[in-house]
Amino acid sequence: MKLRLQCSRHFWDRWNELVGPGGKGARDEVRRKLHACLKVGIKPDKTGAYHLRVRSRAWVVVVPTNTGWRAVTVHNGRKIEERKKKARR
């Protein structure tokens, strides 16, 4: 079953800024990553959002909706990496 994924305007602006121009291919890449992460049991953060590492320097934030999923933004994952380092100490 294909996951329904909507991408916000902010998502596209940030994707173009951090990753580069992308269209349907970018949406499909995020959809595949979301499907794979859901299969292994990814956990949401305290706000209910899911952070997916799509590329080496690009994390996509997705949230569930009534009709599927919505990609809301892209970030570089710096804070997530810092938290992981602190947890290892």
Domain boundaries along the sequence of the chain:
5-88
Q: What is the pLDDT of residue 30?
A: 94
* pLDDT tens-place string over residues 52-62: 999 888 999 99
**Per-residue pLDDT tens over the stretch 7-32:** 999 999 999 999 888 777 899 999 99
pTM: 0.84
pLDDT of residue 1: 62
> What would the pLDDT profile of 61-79 be if each residue is shown by its tens digit?
999 999 999 999 999 987 6
Backbone angles phi, psi at 71, to 5 degrees: -85, 120
Candidates 3.40.1620, 1.10.10, 3.30.2310, 3.30.519; correct CATH number of 5-88? 3.30.2310
> Residue 22: what pLDDT?
73
